């Protein structure tokens, strides 16, 4: 009897410890209020600088209340932007109106980003360390306190679901599901090519560390540091090293530019391209993207040399790099992000729309942005080039494939092949190890729940699993509910991002737009190239190159860098209409 009484008391003490250890584990503070524990075991919410007050920062001030009453929901805004094409076609003709709307979009998105950075993965509270230690990713929300009852604070079970089970039940592709809006493989490879210049996890130190410059610096073209950059340069006329094979210009081989690359031992020496990122030899699509930017760099060098014959190699190179950064951002905003959005309103990369506004020209890459951007379901099961079909396994570590088929044929293969749908049960077996790693990292870094992030970025938390995955996917909702103990607030960040129902006609659900878009848009417009100090003709060597930066698009980039005499194929981030017809009415089963 005494033993039973002792165990009961011990159990009750354990409960008390859980509830008193950190009252902030329940995340009581709303609307970006900061929770601070108090000496009596309670908490207080710091609402300083917010449009809300109250014990939990839950009550809006009068002005905010009026704005909230007038504010349309994000779904309403999305509907308006993806419908009424005739109206947006009219708006797009007026540059001043278009610029005003774009400026409002940039500032709205920027408002969700904390600059200066307040959190990193080392601390559960605000520190100056988070700002000054740029070797770490920033954090939008602090880690879940270690002493909380559950991994998500107080929600869910004390143990998270087994990762291998999650992967098998919710991520593994049983049958390829094409991306319904027509996204192609060229887009999929660009997503990887573009983001690897700033998503650079330092795995040796841990998943909270990174080794990049926190922004678009085109290190994916020019190398990780000055040493690699110098190895990739010809040191003549500002140009990068190249080689000519069968009449086509390609990046050099490692034997001619000794940068660190990852190749398998049996990769032939003449297939070992020296590229700006050590991983880019893994997939032929990354070699194609690297090649087109090397060609564009050298083309701009020729343009500058003609107008500035007195310029040194260094000045030609650095000025061209400015232009390539500008071109990259232009393509990302007006081709890449435009495609993702599905908007009829035409996005514009005109840095002047933010001049004189409350925009700080500095950026930090956040952990959450890095995790949300793992779009590996885009990878197809089969890549078709000319008359050849390749599985993903066939093309891994096969950079020589680009020489076999040639630049144009590789480009045609990527633009006409649909990418996969980003969502449940559509990861190719070759990418499942990445899923496991990202979920493991999320747990190590104690990321808060998916619903907490929705609220942080201005969305309403989901109340049920059916609301998360869609009412037409009851089976999926039930399975998720079973593994997360029936608590929607226990769903992990990455799992929620991948399982969320899609908006009609676009690539992602509401949360991807709400959570990832602010970091994306802010990072592009807060880039130094986008600042008043940089955005002027002299930065790019004169009006000719400045005009090229301002008018560049994906079609121009590829068509003007084909082999002489070659006709330009279909170049877009969407498959041709006749190909899309095959897929657009396909019912995607989850």
How far, in Å, CA of 355 to CA of 363, rounded? 17
CA torsion sign for 471, 476, 479, 485 is: negative
E strands within 323-393? 382-385, 388-391
How far, in Å, CA of 484 to CA of 486, rounded? 6
CA torsion sign for 183, 517, 489, 464 is: negative
For residue 234, the 8-state DSSP code is: -
For residue 271, the 8-state DSSP code is: G
**Residues in Cβ contact with 62 at an 8 Å cutoff, skipping those fewer than 6 apart:** none
Asked whether the beta carbons of 286 and 193 are under 8 A apart, the reply is: yes
Catalytic residue among 78, 196, 277, 371: 196
**Residues in Cβ contact with 417 at an 8 Å cutoff, skipping those fewer than 6 apart:** 184, 185, 380, 383, 384, 575
Beta bridge partners of 391: 382
How far, in Å, CA of 456 to CA of 448, rounded? 11
Asked whether the beta carbons of 24 and 141 are under 8 A apart, the reply is: no
Beta bridge partners of 273: 253
Q: Residue 363 is encoded by which pair of tokens?
A: 């950026």
How far, in Å, CA of 364 to CA of 213, rounded? 8
How far, in Å, CA of 355 to CA of 333, rounded? 17
Catalytic residue among 43, 222, 373, 462: 373
Asked whether the beta carbons of 138 and 367 are under 8 A apart, the reply is: yes
For residue 366, the 8-state DSSP code is: B
79 is catalytic: no
580 is catalytic: no
The β-bridge relationship of strands 52-53 and 59-60 is antiparallel
**DSSP assignment string, 537-571:** GGGGTSHHHHHHHHH--HHHHHHTTSPTTPPP---
How far, in Å, CA of 30 to CA of 60, rounded? 11
Helix (H) or strand (E) holding 439: helix 432-444
Residue 465: CA atoms inside 13 Å, Cβ hemisphere, count? 20
Neighbours of 464 (CB within 10 A): 12
Residues carrying an active site annotation: 196, 373
């Amino acid at each position: 009897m005494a033993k039973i009484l002792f165990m009961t008391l011990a159990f009750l003490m354990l409960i008390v410890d859980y509830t008193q250890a950190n009252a902030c584990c329940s995340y009581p503070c709303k609307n970006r209020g900061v929770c601070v524990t108090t000496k009596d075991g309670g908490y207080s919410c710091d609402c300083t600088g917010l449009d809300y007050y109250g014990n939990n920062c839950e009550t809006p001030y009068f002005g905010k209340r009026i704005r909230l009453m007038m504010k349309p929901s994000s779904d309403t805004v999305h509907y308006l932007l993806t419908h009424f094409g005739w109206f947006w076609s009219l708006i797009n003709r007026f540059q001043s109106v278009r610029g005003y709307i774009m400026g409002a979009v940039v500032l709205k998105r920027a408002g969700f980003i904390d600059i200066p950075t307040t959190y990193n993965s080392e601390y559960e509270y605000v520190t100056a360390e988070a700002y000054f230690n740029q070797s770490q990713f920033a954090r939008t929300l602090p880690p879940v306190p270690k002493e909380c009852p559950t991994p998500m604070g107080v929600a869910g079970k004390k143990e998270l679901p087994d990762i291998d089970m999650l992967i098998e039940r919710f991520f593994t592709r049983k049958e390829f599901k094409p991306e319904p809006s027509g996204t192609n493989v060229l887009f999929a490879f660009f997503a990887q090519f573009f983001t690897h210049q700033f998503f650079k996890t330092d795995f040796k130190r841990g998943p909270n560390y990174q080794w990049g410059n926190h922004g678009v610096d085109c290190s994916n073209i020019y190398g990780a540091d000055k040493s690699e950059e110098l190895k990739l340069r010809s040191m003549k006329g500002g140009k990068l090293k190249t080689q000519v094979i069968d009449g086509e210009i390609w990046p050099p081989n490692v034997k001619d530019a000794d940068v660190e690359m990852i190749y398998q031992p049996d990769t032939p020496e003449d297939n070992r391209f020296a590229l700006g990122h050590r991983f880019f030899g893994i997939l032929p699509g990354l070699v194609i993207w690297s090649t087109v930017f090397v060609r564009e760099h050298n083309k701009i060098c020729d343009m500058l040399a003609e107008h500035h014959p007195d310029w040194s190699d260094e000045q030609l190179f650095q000025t061209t790099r400015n232009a390539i950064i500008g071109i990259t951002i232009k393509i990302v905003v007006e081709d890449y992000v435009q495609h993702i959005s599905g908007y009829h309103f035409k996005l514009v990369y005109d840095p002047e729309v933010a001049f004189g506004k409350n925009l700080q020209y500095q950026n930090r890459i956040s952990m959450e942005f890095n995790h949300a951007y793992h779009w590996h379901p885009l990878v197809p099961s089969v890549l078709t080039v000319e008359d050849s079909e390749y599985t993903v396994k066939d093309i891994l570590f096969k950079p020589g494939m680009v020489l076999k088929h040639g630049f144009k044929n590789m480009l045609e293969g990527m633009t006409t092949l649909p990418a996969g749908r980003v969502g449940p049960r559509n990861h190719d077996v070759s990418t499942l190890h990445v899923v496991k790693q990202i979920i493991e990292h999320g747990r190590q870094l104690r990321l808060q729940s998916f619903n907490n992030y929705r609220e942080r970025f201005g969305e309403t938390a989901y109340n049920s699993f059916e609301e998360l995955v869609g009412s037409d996917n009851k089976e999926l909702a039930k399975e998720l509910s079973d593994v997360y103990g029936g608590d929607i607030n226990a769903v992990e960040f990455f799992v929620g991002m991948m399982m969320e129902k899609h908006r009609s006609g676009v690539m992602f659900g509401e949360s991807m737009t709400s959570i990832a878009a602010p970091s994306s848009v802010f990072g592009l417009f807060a880039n130094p190239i986008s600042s008043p100090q940089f955005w002027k003709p002299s930065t790019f060597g004169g009006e000719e190159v400045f005009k090229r930066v301002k008018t560049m698009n994906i079609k121009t980039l590829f068509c003007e860098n084909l082999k002489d005499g070659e006709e330009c194929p279909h170049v877009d981030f969407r498959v041709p209409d006749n190909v899309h017809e095959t897929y657009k009415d396909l019912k995607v089963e989850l």
